[in-house]
Amino acid sequence: MSAWRRAVAVVLAAACVIGNLLAQAGRRAHPTNDASTTLNVVATRTDGASGPITSKEISLFDNGVEQTIKNFAPDLSAAKIVLLVDNSLTIRADVDKLETATLEFAYEIYDGDKLLIVGYDNNAEIVSDWTDDAKKIQTELKSFRKKGDPHLFDAIMAVVGDALQPLSAQKRAIVVISDGLDRGSKTKFTQALSALQSLDIAVYCVQAPDRTRGAIRRDVPKPRQVIDDLAEGTGGRIFPIDDPSAAAKAICDELRKNRYVLSYLPQSVLFTESRRLLVMGERGIDARAKTMQPAN
């Protein structure tokens, strides 16, 4: 064997050994740009200025390790938004209020955006399929009715798996119109939140009054905690149901005007464990993103 072929063989053998060691250590090698990780980020200037924000004004920490941002670009694409509406019997909002809160989004979405409206009680049911037609939505909302118990966590898993996961290349969000109460789901809250974070789906909450008035239930988080964790954990926000017009406008504006896609090559992180994510803006910039990357 020639000297250069022996040298190549040694290099390849060493590479295999290193790759095996990295795998055993729970770390993943990233040999190409295809291994880049993307993260949806909302970023705004606190002074209200509309100029685009650059990667130099943003910092990202993955499990406490600062990462090098490869790209940070505005995402001006259309959004697919699921309105997940609690129409269970005991929610402290009448049918008219639920209809109004839902319909406001039909007036505020941007060109190209589409809405899917799902009502849930013991089951999650499509009220209005993907559309941007406000008149169609208004007509179909008349099928809202209050009954049953709120299986919120099961409903989240249903819309994630059936409606949003197939749209992996598109901008996706869920607006939960509810007080956050779950009563009877087979899905645990941690499972629902993990599914949302794995697919990087932002959750916005239009919050109804807490029907439990803070009562503690065994093995289930309080409704207010559910709302807080859904929004914070996925990079969303919370709005009161009493001003649905302002909520719809703020959410639709944010999705179209203030969303960015960040890409980076994760370094010095474990992929076999859930990892904390932290996105920070320089002074004068607010930035939000999901707070956790579940284990692969």
pLDDT in tens, 207-263: 999 999 877 777 789 999 999 999 999 999 999 999 999 999 999 999 999 999 999
Q: pTM, whole model, 2 decimals?
A: 0.87
Strands 58-62 and 65-66: antiparallel
pLDDT in tens, 163-181: 999 998 899 999 999 999 9
| Helical packing angle, 189-198 and 152-159, nearest 10° | 20
Give percent of the chain above pLDDT 70.
89
Tell me, what's the pLDDT at 272? 87
Report phi then psi at 238, rounded to 5.
-120, 135
Average pLDDT, the chain: 89
pLDDT in tens, 112-134: 999 999 999 999 999 999 999 99
pLDDT in tens, 20-38: 333 333 333 333 445 789 9
Contact 234, 197 (CB under 8 A): yes
- How many degrees, rounded to 5, is the angle at CA 241 between CA 257 and CA 248? 20
Flag whether pLDDT at 82 surpasses 60: yes
Tell me, what's the pLDDT at 30? 38
Flag whether pLDDT at 19 surpasses 60: no
Flag whether pLDDT at 285 surpasses 90: yes
Flag whether pLDDT at 65 surpasses 60: yes
Tell me the three state secondary structure of residue 285: strand
Beta strands in 24-123 (DSSP E): 37-45, 58-62, 65-66, 69-74, 79-86, 114-120
Report phi then psi at 194, rounded to 5.
-65, -40
pLDDT in tens, 133-155: 999 999 999 989 999 999 999 99
- Return all residues near 284 (Cβ < 8 A) that are at least 6 apart: 45, 46, 47
Tell me, what's the pLDDT at 35? 73
